[in-house]
Structure formats: C-alpha cells, structure tokens
Structure 1
Amino acid sequence: MTTAVRSEFDRGIALTPHPGEPGRHGAELGAGWQIGGGVNGGLLLAVAGHALSLRSPAHPDPVSISGYYLSAARPGPATVSTELIREGRSLSTGTASLVQDGEERLRVLATYGDLAAFGDEVHTSAQPPVMPPPEQCIGVEHAPPSLVEQAALLERFDLRLDPATIGWALGEPSKQGRIQGWFKLADGREPDPLLLLLVADALPPVTFDLGLPGWAPTVELTVHLRAKPAPGWLRVSHATRNLAGGHFEEDAEIWDSTGRLVAQSRQLARAPRPQ
C-alpha cells in the first residue's frame, strides 16, 4: 500500500489538535512560504481558515473572511485558537487568533457555509481578465533573481504573468497599478476554497506597477468566496486605484478554468518604503 504525498500547501496549513482544548491547534509555519522577512499573509489566512473550517462540519467553506495582521509571522511553530460565535442553518460565524512566540500575529472574523449548496445561478457584469494563454505569459523562471531571493513562496507557484503587466520587471512600470496572470501550484494540487485564500495574496504587490519596488505588508485582507473552483488554471487580477497616506488598497478577482468568478478580495497594505 502506498501513501499519497500531500501537497506543500496542505503541509503548510496542516494543524495538530491540542488534546482537551477544543478549537485549539498547533501549526508549523514553513520557511518556504516567506516573502521578504515574514510568512505570506495569504498563507496565514489559509491556516486560520483551515482551523475555522473544522468548527462546524455542516459549514466547511469560508464565504467571507477578514484577517487583521497585527505583527509579522516568522517560520516556526504557532498556535491557532478558534471560537464558534453562531451556528445557523446555512451559515456559521467564528473567530480565529494565530499566536506565535506569545504574540498575536493574526485575528480573523469569518462566516462559513457550504459553497456546493449555493447553486449555480449567476448575475454579473464582471468579466475575466483578457490575456494570452499561460504558455505565452512570463513564468517565475524569468523573474529577476533579486525578486525570487526575497520571495521563497514563488518557488511553490506555477505563476505566469501577463506580459502587458510586467513592465516593472524591466524598469518600465505602466503606472496603471495592475498586475494579472495565471496561477497553479507547482506541485499540481488543484484549487479549493482554502487555496483561494492564498491566491488572493499571491501576486507581486501592485505597487510594483506604480514604480514602487519593495514589499508591502498587509494591514487587513478580506476575501469573499462565490463558488468552489473547477480544476485547472486560475486567472488572477490585482489592481489599485488609490495610494495615499502611505497605504493603498489592492483589489483582486480570481476566476476558475470555466470562466467563473470564484473569489474577490480587497486588502489594505502599507506602501513600500522609498529605496
């Protein structure tokens, strides 16, 4: 009998229950998910989101989840504590707190349901981003070495950026504040709702396209999930319209391989410091 090899993402969000403490789990934040000096905010949200998915078996999927980033998380052990605030017929609401070295890193408030039970009726004016097919886009292997050195998590992705939105990598940012591309995990794991929480924070910061290099720490990230994603490539678009007071918003849309909008997000982040 052979044992299936889990995806790096599944290992990255794995939890160990604390005996006798319902809703409390241990986690191990891996160095492979670092960006700059800390662990990627989307991965942290997925860890907390995984813990919350265990609180109400009838409602396994995040529908709306908001994370407030209180301090930078580092590779190493952490603890996630959850509380179920309300459990209704179709939705549950809970909170989660991720603590490391005695310091709270992330506080989450989320509503959970069963995305498979939501139905297929869609009324939308949203359109998926238009870009070349994955094989005509720019992969991580073409990224500047300095970028990869600061973002170990890129090695976990099969990320193909739209050539029209990577002028910043050549020293020619468009100043439009948009980056978009195709996303899959490098090890082939298919997308699911928890992975969408990572994908919402997976592309380079849109401030790169404003001519502002450097990493942009997330202050708050909210993700709305609309459906379970189909297998295959995800199309991801990140954009900003306003940078002021040292902060900017970053809006993301995630589309699955059938062309359905499966998640939307908005985050507030600190603008990179001048270099």
Structure 2
Amino acid sequence: MSMVSTQTKHFLGLKGVSADEITSILDRAAHWEQNPARVTNQFNGKFVSNLFFENSTRTRFSFELAQKRLGADVLNFSAAESSVQKGESIYDTVRTLESMGIDAGVIRLKPNGVLQELAEKIKIPLINAGDGNNEHPTQALLDFYTMRKQFGAIKGLTVSIVGDILHSRVARSNLWGLLALGAKVQFCAPASMQAPELAEFAPYVSFDEALKADVVMMLRVQLERHDSGLLRSAEEYREQYGLTVERASRMAPHAIIMHPAPVNRNVELDDELVEHEKSKIFTQIAHGVPIRMAVIERALS
C-alpha cells in the first residue's frame, strides 16, 4: 500500500511517493508563502483535530497556525489530559472523534505501526505528524522546500544526515523523499545509532566525508538515550559527532546546515552555528506553516 492514499487522502509518509506528488505539495506551499493573508475562509465550517499522543510544541503549533490560516476550526487533543490515561485505546479515541464529525485528524504517536492500522479503519483523512521512528513527512517536506529555495532544485544535491539514524523518523522521511527527487543521500552515525536496513539506500560515511555535502543535516540527540547505553555522554558525542565551529569551517562555501530542531546547543551543534549565515534552522521552522497548509488543503479538498 502506498503511504499516500488518494482514495482516503491519508498522508502517512513519503515512502513510495512520486517526485511529481512531492513537487506539487512544494509548489502549493510556495503559493501560500507568497500570499501570506492572515486567514482565508477556505475551510470555514471544517473541523480538524490535532491528536497528539506524544508531546510536541513546534509541530503542533505549526499545524494549528496552518489550520487557522485556512479558516478551519481546530480541536486540540493532548493524551496527558484525555481518556487514554484511563485506558481508552488510541483507536477508540480517534474513532470517537470521527463519530462526532471531525473532517480530518493530524496525529502524532510514539508506537510504530499503529498509524498504518488506524488508517485502514478510519475514513476521515489522517495526517502523520510523527509516528514512532517510522516517518515524519511534513518535517521532510519543509526540509525539501528549504533546500529548493536555497539551491533552485534538489536533483543532484548531496545531503549528509548525521546522528541517531536508528531512531530517527526525520532521517527516514528525508531519505525516501530525497531519493525520489533525485538527490544523493549519505548517513553518518556512531555504530550504535546506525540503521543497517537503510544502508542499501544510503551509504554510511565518515564525518570528514559528510562535511563535503551540499547540505549537512544534523539530527537531534535524544539525551534520554544516556540511560540505554547508546550515548556515553553529551560531551563525548559532541567531540565525535557534533558539528563544531572548526568542522563547519571545512564545509563548502555554498553548503548549508540544517536541523529539525529543537537543537541541543553545544551537543549536535555548537551554539554559535545555530544562527550562523550557513544555518537554515529558523528558515526551516518558518517554512513549516505553508507546507502544512498545503498538506491540510490536500486532505480536505
């Protein structure tokens, strides 16, 4: 099954999605970025629910801004305050809201595989706002949008993704979409953070090699992985896999730094690089709203 189903308008991921479909979303986002009306009445009377079963600040606010700019009514749901705490299943929660008449759901989940199961049973469009370590398609789309604005095209770019590939849904969505768009992807990660099943699609390279790319995308280090033994210390990680000022100085003059945020400053990225002229981190965040407007519009149209 394709991760984008045109029959139900679910938007679950970028694996198997064509370059044409990705490009059409990027083009529509460009329309919304160029027409920054505060609010349109396009989806007046439509109800969209943000179903966050895992904490998020930036992604949720970005979706909410996009929904409100399109004129939709927004229902925010947080698992911490919901019946899920009382044992109600995720399916029952989503099915309940569907029964009440919402028109679409934006959903973020911690467990892998649950979103795909939900999509097979739920008829309203579901938009993936991050599921386990599987995919985070709207993050990847705003990354592509940022690259395309910077370089004019994505085809032919080399993109290095550095960090915890094993647990990263951002790395996976970027991989599938970038390959579809004709970019070359390479990974750089400590042995304990590599995803071996992805090696056939993107080679693992040294940090020195990764720095030669057009785009160096640093992934957030999940510091809670200290406990699981994957990470000895934040200091050691920075020393071996952090983008320091010295390492950044070896990047090509035209190359850019990206990061899905939030940044652990002085761990995966030196503090002074976060807003460096090479860094597109806050530009990426700004592009989240027009991208999510395009995705929501696609689901509701």
Report the structure number with the largest CA radius of gyration. 2
TM range (shorter): under 0.3
Higher strand share: 1
